[in-house]
Amino acid sequence: MKKLFLTFIILALAVFTAACSSTTGGEETKKIKLGVSGSDTRIWDFIAEKAEKEGIEIEVVTFSDYVQPNVALAEGDLDVNAFQTVAYFDTFIKEHNMDLSPIATTVLAPMGLYSEKVKSVEDIPEGGKIAIPNDASNGGRALLLLEEAGLIKLSEDYDGNLDLNKIVENPKNLEFVEMVSAQTPRALPDVSASVINNGIAVEAGFNPTKDSVFMESETATPYVNIIAVRTEDKDNKTLKRIAELYQEDDVADFITKEYDGSMIPTFIPLSDIGW
């Protein structure tokens, strides 16, 4: 009787295990939790459909801030995340002593210089006012954009954080007006040009590739977005395959069409971002 009962238990467990495991082509589906910030999951919904055909089930978990996706990843509540720039990631893991690593680059959400008064950088007048974000990260990125545009030159020891004292050349004697990022579009009537974050520009009805007088190029590598994992998982085959699926041509085409140029697919080697 005991032997019969034990056999029954073993069979029941086998049936239960089979019922709880989804299979694709005879192989168990690999389930991955991926964290993003914000509610826009269009790119990952597209990739999830591709991954599903290969037996990879991607559950996209959304967060409302830029802190919790890294915390959740470090604590094991996520397998991977994709929401942050290289510059943010490098600073965050250093400040919080987290053992995370990037496994691929994804997109550049370009910062742009906008104007209601001029059509090109060359037309910005002597002594013109330029609005820039007043926080260290975005303001610093704005200065790098202005340097790329040829309007200023920064010192060789510039660290990427907002510091007007690091401007060593300002041939047009431009005046920089610092303000919170959200105000930069509203400043347009009062300045020669305004540096506006990608997300804020899009919310204000601008398209960086069509409406800016100058836009970041793909050489702005600190601001390329990445896919990140725990360092112990950086060679995980499933996670690496997800990164490969992201960097395929059909995803690049989808991003270009879906976002009408406000997101630029930027698939570059990790060595180009310092990893």
Output the DSSP codes for 240-258: HHHHHHHTSHHHHHHHHHH
Q: Domain limits of the chain? A: 30-109+221-273, 112-215
Say how far apart CA 25 and CA 160 lie, in whole Å: 50
CA angle, residues 103, 47, 72, in degrees to nearest 5? 50
Say how far apart CA 267 and CA 212 lie, in whole Å: 23
Which pLDDT value is given to residue 27?
Answer: 57
> Average pLDDT, whole number, for the chain?
91
Interacting residues of 47 by C-beta distance below 8 A, sequence separation 6+: 58, 242, 245, 246, 251
pTM of the model: 0.82
| Range 83-100 average pLDDT | 95
Strands 100-108 and 264-265: antiparallel
Tens-digit pLDDT profile for residues 97-120: 999 999 999 999 999 999 999 999
CA angle, residues 48, 110, 141, in degrees to nearest 5? 125
Tens-digit pLDDT profile for residues 109-150: 999 999 999 999 999 999 999 999 999 889 999 999 999 999
CATH class of the domain at 112-215: alpha beta
- Tell me, yes or no, if the two domains 30-109+221-273 and 112-215 fold the same way: yes
- The domain 30-109+221-273 having CATH identifier 3.40.190.10: the answer here is yes
| Cβ atoms of 51 and 58 closer than 8 Å | yes
Tokens standing for residue 64: 């409302």
Q: How far apart are the first and last CA of the chain?
A: 63
Tens-digit pLDDT profile for residues 177-228: 999 999 999 999 999 999 999 989 999 999 999 999 999 987 789 999 999 9
Say how far apart CA 43 and CA 243 lie, in whole Å: 13
